[in-house]
A and B are shown apart, each in its own frame.
Chain A
């Protein structure tokens, strides 16, 4: 069985500071990992995915994520946070019948 854990329900950062949203996974075989963002009253939007290759994946809106096989982690990062980045972020493993984490609310304060 596959699973995803997002250990932080909430992450608060000041605008302009770097941000990290954590994700760890458990899956047999090679993982396919995804990050999605959800704004209020909207569906999820794809940010980025890791399939294979370079461990640092770049995605939309300046976000990136680092795949770490030994730590089974796929943390989402951004060098300089914007207030408009405030949203709910979901990590997911595989696709189709994806398994999602419970989400992390990111709040960026001016």
Chain B
């Protein structure tokens, strides 16, 4: 049973390009969460999705950022027109249930570097 899979592990983009980060949750998990981790900082919640629905996007910037979790395929975090401040590690987590006492399973992250 594979864990949460994220790809790519490293992504380099020039300012103004688009970045697409992919996340396949654990088998049987239909709840996906995206977090951003800046150097020397903790994880900051971005968005919570359940299959085909965005449940909570309160932590995601209103512009340039979007997320989806289609019926088939991985969840995608998309950043348009990247800027240097977008450079960070982006982690995806999944859970079997949305209950607040469920533990999260994390992927190994995507390190985004914007030149």
By a beta-carbon cutoff of 8 Å, the part of chain A in contact with chain B is 32, 34, 36, 41-46, 49, 51, 90, 94-103
By a beta-carbon cutoff of 8 Å, the part of chain B in contact with chain A is 4, 6, 31, 33, 35, 41-45, 48, 56, 58-59, 91, 93, 95, 98-109
B109:A94 contact, CB within 8 angstroms: no
A51:B101 contact, CB within 8 angstroms: yes
A96:B100 contact, CB within 8 angstroms: yes
Please name all residues of chain B whose beta carbon is closer than 8 Å to the beta carbon of A102 when the two chains form the complex.
Answer: 41-42
Give Cα distance in the complex from A25 to B41, angstroms.
17
What's the nearest-Cβ distance from chain B to residue A63, in Å?
A: 14
What's the nearest-Cβ distance from chain B to residue A61, in Å?
A: 15
Please name all residues of chain B whose beta carbon is closer than 8 Å to the beta carbon of A97 when the two chains form the complex.
Answer: 33, 45, 48, 56, 58-59
Residues A43 and B106 in contact in the complex (CB < 8 Å), given A96-B33, A98-B45: yes
Residues A95 and B95 in contact in the complex (CB < 8 Å), given A46-B105, A49-B103: yes
A43:B107 contact, CB within 8 angstroms: yes
A32:B91 contact, CB within 8 angstroms: no
Query: Which of A45, A46, A95 is B100 in contact with, Cβ under 8 Å?
Result: A95
Query: Which of A32, A99, A103 is B101 in contact with, Cβ under 8 Å?
Result: A32
18 A-B contacts (beta carbon < 8 Å): A43-B4, A43-B93, A43-B106, A43-B107, A43-B108, A44-B43, A44-B106, A46-B103, A90-B42, A90-B43, A95-B102, A95-B104, A96-B95, A96-B104, A98-B45, A100-B35, A100-B42, A100-B44
Give Cα distance in the complex from A34 to B42, angstroms.
14
B91:A95 contact, CB within 8 angstroms: no
